[in-house]
Structure 1
Amino acid sequence: MIEPEDAWRRRWLLVLAGGIVMGAALGVRNVQGLFLMPVTLDHGWSREVFGFALALQNLLWGVSQPFTGMVADRFGSARVIAAGAVLYAAGLAVMAYSATAGFYTLGTGLLVGVALSGCAFGAVYGALSRLFPADRRSWALGVAGTIGGLGQFCMVPLAQDMLTGLGWRNATVVFALVMLSTAPLAAFLRDRPVAVPKAKTDGVPDRAAQTIAAAVREALTHRGYWLLNAGFFACGFQLAFIASHMPAYLLDHGLTARHASTALAIIALANTAGTFLCGYAGGFLRRKYLLSAIYFVRAAAMLMFVVLPLTPVSLYVFSFVMGLIWLGTVPLTNGIVSQVFGVKYITTLFGFVFLGHQLGSFFGVWLGGVVYDATHSYDMLWYGAAALGVVAGVLHLPIDDARVAQRARPLVQAA
């Protein structure tokens, strides 16, 4: 755990390492929507085939996140992050050289999906949550997310230029090398599992002595934990649908690939500020109310985007608004989990919440392809994503965000 007297250089080294790893992992994932048209045209596949591969990636990312979190909580995050980066590179290599839909799905769906659970924000935020004390935790998560957002921003023009100059296969190989180069940064994120004490105080079981099974059972019986899961489902649905299908949606409505890449770049750039601001605001405002506000704003933005005439200006305004609240939900949701349940098993408990997010991502990507192939329109998905945003905003309002130990103490004292 970092002590207040530690040098600022040490603190910045930690958030820089975490931010760069996240930026690379999420940046490569964020630009995969730009690959939809060249990949499907090259192979002669339908959009549903491409969409299913990305949907499977999101699903397996979510399914594997709790188990990856258990490994990180037990043995430390550094090994998990390094292994995730290497597996990510392997998955991208399989994607680049695949000749069939099955092998492409193996690379982008299975390998990259599992890899993301090891080197994206679940593992990185878990490590930073343990490495920083509570009074600096929101700052650390916000700054790391901001650095990660800058990485995502840089990936967009890089991807567009490589698609134009190198083709999608060579561009994928370059991204594989980028992910491989981030693996050594995991060494800076060596967190330590919280030590188990030998005693109890005031008759209240010390939470640091809690087993991982007990922590999971406690969370699964907490109503607010399930509300976080449900709300995060909507988040995953919205972001995965937009990132994967908006480029094709824009091309269908007469805009160009350059407009699509510019929109993704604006989202990524605005996200750098938005993630920091959300993380910072979570340090002094109720996180559940911030999350509700984010989901309500998203719903309004999506409805206006599909109702108003589509122009480059309306596209860029929509992208900027969405970018400001793109990944701001992650440090806030992570913050609520650590606030309520502590940080000993934060990676595991956030992993189960993130499973809800990735279930939403699966349906957002997959249904995007299915609905388009059936109706030749994405309108139903836009309205559905907006409706989910309203539901998520309402669900966060009644969450009980008081620390579990603080609720238990009065009961023990009364007894």
Structure 2
Amino acid sequence: MTDASRRPAAPGQPSLLRHPFLRHPWTIAGASTLALTAGGLPLLSLTFGVFLKSITEDTGWTRADASLAMSLMLYLTAVISPVSGMVIDRFGVRGPLVASLLLTAAAIAGLALAHSLAAFCALFAFIGLVNWGQQPVAYLKVVVGWFDRSRGLALGVVNSGLGIGATYMPAVAALLLAEFGWRGAYVGLAALLLCVTLPGALFVIREKEAPVPLPATVQRAGEGEASLRAALATPAFWILVASAFVLAVAVNGTMPHLVSLFTDRGMSMGEAVGLMGLAGAFGVVGRLGAGFIADRVFAPFIALGVFLLAACAMGVLWLNSPLLPPALAVIALGLSLGAEVDLMGYMASRYFPKALFARIYGFIFGALICGSGVGVYAMGRTYDALKTYGPCIAVFLGLVFLTGFLSLRLGPYVYPPARHGPADAGKEPQAASAA
């Protein structure tokens, strides 16, 4: 019997909650995955379109007026992401995560009482300021601490929660809308957020107390002493931020316009929506696949492949040739969309110390959100001016093709995975039981 097994349970904490299963690294990763299916961007971004028509018909606001609320939330989320990373690195994950979940749920439920556009926009803006604790930054911080040699796969599993949420959240929103109207539906989404995410945040998701030791040949200065200013001055930081921004401009900017683009070209609404579902499914494949491969192949090479895949998708959409089925573009977009968040998190963990991970990834995630907003706006403005998306897609093609080669300038990992000793699956449960 180990010392950890003889240790009494913490006061007020049932011994059941200290069961080894709940403290296993893959259980923690699974709880993080589940939380991301109902939290973060899928909960509001992917349900807003379902509610939009009902909101405008009920209130008399224009679609542009109502959409302003979503834009405010996205941009404030982007601005606050680096700050959230600093808070998480300073105070840990659990406290900020639980506080963020409670405040976000309260604000979402409060949308049911918003009878003016100003109140509606103010609540969405408030959500943008407080929902950072349930974005990938917090969960990936936990995973990076628990996993080393299988870190890429673990990050892919957790990030797949975003793709899974994208597949079921719009359907849940539609059911709530039909049953309770848009105001009651937002109350339902708030309840769903708490039911799915809060138990894991309270009882399962935790950081590893003892860091995974690095081989002597790659020991660096203590992670707690690492300088954020020095990290922000490295080429690796700016390459990751620029790559995240450009890929989000192209891929995330194109995705919301795909249904309109396909129906403009004569496709039925049902076919276009079906292709969007295909993109969501391949987004999950992209996240899992990129993470699995990153544990075996140098990640910048994979990043280059993702950018070239996105360029191919843009080429298919731009050419609009009968020899190139639209499904090819949708599959390529889904794969690249799925891989981007996973790879960016993995590379951040290999080029920067774990003590700075949340702060570094906060900047990267902010770039992803900003890029998404810029891309969506650019596509809309191009269509309004020219009645076609073609020129914007052509620009996106060139951007992702050229930017992809930046990843080759990252150089060797600064914090490579351990090459000796037991695999993660063997040593991490042991550490968990002693935590």
TM class by shorter chain equals 0.7 to 0.9
Name stretches of at least 5 consecutive residues in structure 1 with no aligned partner.
1-5, 407-415
Match in the other structure for 1:15: 29
Alignment of 1:276-295 (within 5 A): 276-295=288-307
- 1:191 & 1:64 partners in 2: Cα distance? 22
CA contact (8 A) 2:251 2:337 kept: yes
* Alignment partner, residue 364 of structure 1: 375
Return the letter of the residue paired with 1:138. G
CA RMSD of the aligned region, Å?
3.4
For the 8 Å contact 1:24–1:152, the answer to whether it is kept is: no
1:270 maps to 282
Q: Does 1:86 align with 2:102?
A: yes
Aligned-pair CA distance for 1:261:
4.0
Aligned partner (choices 340, 345, 355) of residue 351 of structure 2: 340
- For 2:122 and 2:86, how far apart are their aligned partners in 1? 24
**Cross-structure match for 2:169:** 155
SS of 1:344's equivalent in the other structure is helix
Q: CA 1:9/1:257 → structure 2, altered by over 3 Å: closer, same or farther?
A: farther
Scaled by the length of structure 2, the TM-score of the pair is: 0.78
Residue 178 (structure 1) shift: 1.2
1:384 is matched by which residue type in structure 2? Answer: V
C-alpha deviation, 1:41, in angstroms: 5.4
Rounded Cα–Cα distance in structure 1 between residues aligned with 2:415 and 2:299: 16
Alignment of 1:394 onto 2:408: no
1:328 alignment partner in structure 2: 339
Residue matched to 1:75? 91
Q: Cα offset for 1:294?
A: 0.7
Is the 1:274–1:325 contact (alpha carbons within 8 Å) kept by the matching residues of 2? yes
The question of 1:355 aligning with 2:371 is answered: no
1:307 equivalent among 319, 322, 334: 319
Higher deviation after alignment, 60-69 or 163-172: 163-172
Mapped contact 2:46–2:166 kept (Cα < 8 A): yes
Deviates more, 1:285-294 or 1:319-328: 319-328
Aligned residue among 129, 148, 153 for 1:134: 148
State which of 217, 221, 246 in structure 2 corresponds to 1:206: 221
The 1:255–1:101 alpha-carbon spacing in structure 2 relative to 1, beyond 3 Å, is farther
Change (3 A) 1:9 1:192: closer
Which of 171, 188, 193 in structure 2 is aligned with 1:179? 193
Query: Does residue 122 in structure 1 map to residue 134 in structure 2?
Result: no
Q: CA deviation at 1:166?
A: 4.9
- What is the CA–CA distance in structure 2 between the aligned matches of 1:367 and 1:163, rounded to whole Å? 30
Equivalence map 1:165-176=2 (5 Å): 166-176=180-190
Letter in 2 for 1:330: V
Q: Does the 8 Å contact 1:88/1:112 carry over to 2?
A: yes
Q: Which amino acid aligns with 1:88?
A: T
1:135 counterpart letter in structure 2: R
Measure the CA separation in 1 of the matches of 2:186 and 2:267: 25
Shift of 1:18: 0.2
Normalised TM-score (structure 1): 0.82
How far the C-alpha of 1:371 sits from its partner, in A, is 4.2
TM-fit CA distance, 1:88: 2.9
Single out whichever of 155-164 and 136-145 deviates more from structure 2. Answer: 155-164
SS in structure 2 of the partner of residue 285 of structure 1: coil
Q: Deviations over 1:247-280 (max 9, x none)?
A: 4445555555544543332222222222111011
Structure 2: gaps spanning 5 or more residues: 1-19, 418-435
Task: Provide closer, same or farther for how the CA distance between residues 78 and 242 of structure 1 changes in structure 2, counting only shifts above 3 A.
Answer: farther
Counterpart-to-counterpart distance in 1, 2:123 and 2:344: 29
Query: Which range is displaced more, 6-15 or 383-392?
Result: 6-15
The change in CA–CA distance for 1:101 and 1:95 in structure 2 (over 3 A counts) is same
Given candidates 115, 120, 125, the residue that maps to 1:99 is 115
Q: Give the C-alpha shift of residue 75 in structure 1.
A: 1.6
2:107–2:127 contact (8 Å) kept in structure 1: yes
Contact in 1 for aligned 2:93/2:142 (Cα 8 Å): yes
Between Structure 1 and Structure 2, how many residues are aligned?
391
Find the aligned partners of 1:376 and 1:93 in 2 and give their Cα distance: 38
Distance 2:126 2:267 in 1: 33
Q: Does the aligned pair in 2 maintain the 1:34–1:247 contact within 8 Å?
A: no
SS for the counterpart of 2:354 is: coil
1:154 Cα deviation after fit: 1.8
Q: Does the Cα contact within 8 Å between 2:275 and 2:330 map onto a contact in 1?
A: yes
Q: Deviations over 1:226-262 (max 9, x none)?
A: 0111110022223442444334445555555544543
Give a deviation string over 1:136-184, Cα, whole Å, max 9, x none.
Answer: 3222212222344323322233334445565444433322221122223
Query: Given that residues 234 and 392 in structure 1 are in contact (C-alpha distance below 8 angstroms), is that contact kept between their aligned partners in structure 2?
Result: yes
Q: Does structure 1 retain, via aligned residues, the 8 Å contact 2:152–2:346?
A: yes
